[in-house]
Amino acid sequence: MKCSINYGVLILLTFTPGVFASDIDTHSLVYDARVGFLSAGTLEVNMLLSDGRYEMFGDVGTSGAIERFFRWRGKFAAVGFMVEEIPRTRAYLLFEERKNSRKVTLAAHGKTTIHRPAGASREVQYPRGSDLMSVLFLTDHCFNSAWVHDGEDAYEVILRTSRQTKVEQGRAYFRGPAEQCRYRFHYDKDEERGLDVWLGLDAGRLVPVRLRVRVPFRPDALLKLRSGR
Average pLDDT over residues 111-131: 88
Helices (H), 69-214: 132-138
Q: Please report, rounded to a whole number, the percentage of residues in the chain having pLDDT higher than 70.
A: 83
Q: Rounded to whole angstroms, how far apart are CA atoms 123 and 131?
A: 17
pLDDT at 147 over 70: yes
pLDDT for residue 161: 97
Reported as a pLDDT band with limits 50, 70 and 90, residue 198 is very high
Please tell me the least confidently modeled range out of 18-27, 71-80, 203-212: 18-27
pLDDT of residue 103: 86
Regarding predicted confidence, which is higher, 139 or 21?
139
Distance of CA 128 to the CA centre of its chain: 16
Residue ranges with strand state E in 3-52: 25-35, 38-50
Higher-confidence position of 213 and 1: 213
Q: Considering only CA atoms, which of 102, 126, 104 is closest in space to residue 115?
A: 104
Q: What is the mean pLDDT of residues 32-41?
A: 84
Query: What mean pLDDT, rounded, does the chain reach?
Result: 83
**Has residue 66 got a pLDDT over 80?**
no
pLDDT category, 39, cuts 50, 70, 90? Answer: confident
Res 64: pLDDT: 60
% of the chain with per-residue pLDDT over 90: 48
User: What distance, in Å, lies between the first and last C-alpha atoms of the chain?
Assistant: 31
149-168 pLDDT, tens digit per residue, is 989 889 899 999 999 999 99
| Domain spans in the chain, listed from the N-terminal domain onward | 7-225
pTM of the model: 0.86
The DSSP H or E segment spanning 9 is helix 7-14
DSSP one-letter string for the chain: ------HHHHHHHH--TT-S-S--EEEEEEEEEEETTEEEEEEEEEEEEETTEEEEEEEEEE-GGGGGT--EEEEEEEEEEEETTEEEEEEEEEEEEESS-EEEEEEETTEEEEE-TTS--EEEEPPSSEEHHHHHHH--S--SEEEEESSS-EEEEEEEEEEEEEE---TTB--EEEEEEEEEEEEETTEEEEEEEEEEEETTEEEEEEEEEE-TTSPPEEEEEB---
